[in-house]
């Protein structure tokens, strides 16, 4: 699925730095008022909660379409969306496999939550879709051990990380609302296909979404995929940049403003992912994906894609940036 590479990385723990004055040292006359440290707010992105959501998905086991874990985790994710969004609903579909499992039919469902802006939905405002895939891959075809390549991928980074950030952003947005309506879209069947030139069995949920928009009308999108690695570094993804260079640059600018320059790096690469069907449908969408060899060669699409590869700090960097942009409006 694409080409890419590189990076070194470092995560900044953010600490508020503040001068401490003597209690009797009250400002007088034209003295500047002391700057109070900003107290953490419940509306901030909670990285520990996000990480727990990543682990909770993995606790169901691999979320492979057709499995019990897929059914149960889907029910749980829908309940999470219902709790933290204004509206939540599934978008079910079936997929008849042609290459991965020829002739077999699989029940799949996208899971959708909607968060209205402050003051309620306004006509003619831009809707934004924030998406991540919740399925995990049926086979570990890159596993170093050939005898394990038919085992499913647990998908801590490849799947659960993006979903965890989406769910935590949903919770936070309800407490301090977005500038425009936000659609949280958890796609199914992103990673179902076998490696083949046409990618015909990938991005199944994203394809279904754009064919069935009904009353939804997203104008722009942000896709989160593989955003949990402990040494996270994101590059400017090629198709994303082609579709919406100004949004890519706004994301990188916001990351720099928030002190995450080392996470939002200077590499570039091209990756085929869930953003492609949206872009083709006229919804410019930016894919934030960590596509370095440290990830793709070490544990991507193997039985080693487990929560110990991920960290709360990495989820925080992505969550802080995307949450801030959704509140400002993109």
Residues engaged in binding Zn ion (CB under 5 A): 158, 191
Cβ count near 273 (within 10 Å): 28
Q: Nearest-CA neighbor of 6 among 264, 223, 315, 269?
A: 269
Structure token digits, residue 116: 């209205």
Answer yes or no: are the C-beta atoms of 167 and 175 closer than 8 Å: no
Whole-number Å distance between alpha carbons of 173 and 85: 9
Instruction: Rank residues 191 and 237 by Cβ distance to Zn ion and give the closer one.
Output: 191
Q: List the helix and strand counts (H, then E) for the chain.
A: 9, 9
Instruction: Rank residues 244 and 273 by Cβ distance to Zn ion and give the closer one.
Output: 273
Burial class (CB in 10 A: 0-12, 13-18, 19+), 282: exposed
Three-class SS state of 29? coil
Tell me how far, at minimum, the Cβ of 305 lies from Zn ion, in Å: 8
Q: Nearest-CA neighbor of 132 among 99, 170, 101, 105?
A: 170
Tell me how far, at minimum, the Cβ of 323 lies from Zn ion, in Å: 25
Whole-number Å distance between alpha carbons of 19 and 17: 7
Instruction: Rank residues 116 and 158 by Cβ distance to Zn ion and give the closer one.
Output: 158
Rounded to the nearest 10°, the torsion over CA 296, 190, 219, 45 is: -60
Tell me how far, at minimum, the Cβ of 158 lies from Zn ion, in Å: 4
CA diameter of the chain: 80
Tell me how far, at minimum, the Cβ of 300 lies from Zn ion, in Å: 7
Instruction: Rank residues 191 and 244 by Cβ distance to Zn ion and give the closer one.
Output: 191
The DSSP line for 134-197 is ----S--TT-SSGGGTTSPP--IIIIIHHHHHHHHHHHHHHHS--SS-EEEEEESSTT-SPS-T
How far from the centroid of its chain's Cα atoms is residue 117's Cα?
A: 20
Instruction: Rank residues 84 and 133 by Cβ distance to Zn ion and give the closer one.
Output: 133
Phi-psi region of 226 (alpha: psi -120 to 50; beta: other; left: phi over 0): left
The residues, any chain, with a CB within 8 Å of residue 26's CB and separated by 6 or more, are none
Instruction: Rank residues 247 and 278 by Cβ distance to Zn ion and give the closer one.
Output: 278
Instruction: Rank residues 191 and 201 by Cβ distance to Zn ion and give the closer one.
Output: 191
Tell me how far, at minimum, the Cβ of 278 lies from Zn ion, in Å: 17
Tell me how far, at minimum, the Cβ of 209 lies from Zn ion, in Å: 18
Place of tokens 């953010």: 14
Instruction: Rank residues 132 and 330 by Cβ distance to Zn ion and give the closer one.
Output: 132
Tell me how far, at minimum, the Cβ of 63 lies from Zn ion, in Å: 12
Structure token digits, residue 21: 């004055």
Tell me how far, at minimum, the Cβ of 309 lies from Zn ion, in Å: 14
Tell me how far, at minimum, the Cβ of 24 lies from Zn ion, in Å: 60
Instruction: Rank residues 114 and 163 by Cβ distance to Zn ion and give the closer one.
Output: 163
């Amino acid at each position: 699925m694409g080409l890419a590479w590189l990076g070194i990385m470092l995560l900044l723990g953010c600490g508020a730095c503040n001068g401490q004055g003597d209690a009797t040292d009250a400002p007088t006359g034209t003295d500047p008022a002391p700057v109070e440290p900003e107290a953490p707010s419940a509306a901030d992105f909670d990285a520990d909660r996000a990480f727990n959501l990543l682990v909770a998905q993995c606790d169901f086991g691999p979320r492979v379409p057709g499995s019990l874990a897929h059914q149960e985790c889907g029910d749980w994710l829908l309940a999470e969306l219902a709790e933290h969004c204004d509206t939540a609903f599934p978008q079910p579909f079936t997929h008849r496999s042609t290459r991965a499992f020829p002739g077999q039919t699989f029940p799949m469902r996208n899971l959708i939550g909607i968060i209205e802006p402050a003051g309620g939905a306004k006509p003619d405002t831009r809707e934004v879709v924030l998406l991540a895939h919740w399925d995990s891959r049926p086979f570990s075809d890159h596993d170093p051990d050939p005898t394990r390549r038919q085992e499913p991928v647990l998908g801590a980074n490849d799947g659960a990380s993006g979903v965890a950030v989406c769910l935590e952003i949903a919770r936070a947005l309800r407490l301090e609302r977005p500038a425009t309506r936000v659609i949280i879209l958890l796609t199914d069947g992103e990673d179902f296909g076998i490696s083949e030139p046409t990618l015909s069995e990938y991005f199944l949920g994203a394809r279904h979404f754009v064919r069935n928009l009904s009353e939804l009308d997203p104008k722009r999108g942000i896709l989160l995929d593989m955003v949990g690695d402990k040494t996270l570094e994101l590059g400017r993804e090629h198709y994303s940049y082609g579709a919406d260079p100004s949004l890519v640059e706004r994301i990188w600018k916001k990351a720099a403003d928030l002190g995450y320059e080392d996470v939002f790096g200077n590499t570039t690469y091209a990756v085929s992912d869930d953003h492609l069907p949206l872009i083709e449908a006229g919804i410019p969408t930016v894919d934030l994906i960590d596509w370095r060899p440290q990830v793709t060669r070490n544990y991507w699409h193997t039985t080693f894609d487990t929560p110990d590869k991920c960290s709360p700090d990495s989820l925080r960097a992505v969550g802080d940036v995307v949450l801030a942009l959704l509140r400002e409006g993109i």
